[in-house]
Amino acid sequence: MRTLIAIPVYNEAATVESVLRTVRRHAGDVLVIDDGSTDDTAEIINRVRPELGLDLIRHEANAGYGRAMREAFARAHRGGYDWVITMDCDEQHEPGSIPAFIDAARQDDLDIVSGSRYLDPRFAADRPPEDRRTINKALTTEINARFGFELTDAFCGFKAHRVSAMRRLRLDDDGYAFPMQLWAEANAHGLRVGEIPVRLIYNDYNRTFGGGLDDPQVRLRHYREVLDAAIERSARLDAQTATRTVGTPGPCCGGPCPSES
């Protein structure tokens, strides 16, 4: 089983070297997506890249979290990887958990292994900002109700994704609402989804989303809009596919087969 670790980075000069060095002890292949950093992140990556043997995608300008995720999936596919594990670079995801994701992937009974900071209370080292926990809880509940999932943490970015399954999904959201589209598409394509516990760590309570999303109500509304749009698009495309299938001439008589009528 070939696994790629993909790490989106944006202005992480304070943590990027320590995270990458620690990740490299747990993984053979590491991809860094520098999403238009404007601090010293790029210089630090350039300095440690030859020593650590890192693959790199660099954006000239910030393109968004969702774009970085899609590029990670595409690079994993082109590289012939079976799984891609995504994680953050701000020390809120522990590289020591990578083997647990690899072990879960090796069980071969899931397509997405999602980290959860709430699955096991013993992993709750810190308390998240109240608005983030409230939004996460509300949307996790909605996603479970709509799709029949049993998630406890819809927004954790520490995940293992089966590369062949990701190729089937229609993903185009560039921003922080990307997980909403991912869950809707995973449901539409019948992917098998499960969770493993990861530690709840918050080192920086002052991090911002930008683009007006720092307002919790705006952020919640935006996430719901992306979720609704993804569900509606899947339903529309499924209906179009069903119409084409029903109208396709059958092999025996030149008309639609009875089972398709």
Rounded to an integer, what distance in angstroms lies between the CA atom of residue 123 and that of residue 142?
24
What are the tens digits of pLDDT across the range 122-149? 776 667 778 889 999 999 999 999 999 9
Give the per-residue pLDDT at 202: 66
Q: Where are the domains of the chain?
A: 3-243
Give residues with Cβ within 8 angstroms of 30, minimum separation 6: 4, 5, 6, 7, 20, 23, 24, 52, 53, 54, 55
Give residues with Cβ within 8 angstroms of 37, minimum separation 6: 9, 10, 11, 12, 13
Q: What is the value of pTM for the model shown?
A: 0.87
Residue range 3-243, CATH number: 3.90.550.10
Give the per-residue pLDDT at 237: 77
On the CB side of 65, how many CA atoms lie within 13 Å of its CA?
17
Q: Pick from 215, 80, 226, 73: which is nearest to 139 by CA?
A: 226
Residues 43, 19: contact at Cβ < 8 Å?
A: no
Q: Residue 239 to residues 29, 73, 147, 234, 259: CA-CA distances in angstroms?
A: 40, 27, 18, 8, 17
Tokens read off for 177: 């609402």
In tens digits, what is the pLDDT along the chain, a chain of 261 residues?
999 999 999 999 999 999 999 999 999 999 999 999 999 999 999 999 999 999 999 999 999 999 999 999 999 999 999 999 999 998 889 999 999 999 999 999 999 999 999 988 877 666 777 888 999 999 999 999 999 999 999 999 999 999 999 999 999 999 999 999 999 999 999 999 999 999 987 666 567 667 778 788 999 999 999 999 999 998 887 777 767 655 544 443 333 333 322
On the CB side of 75, how many CA atoms lie within 13 Å of its CA?
23
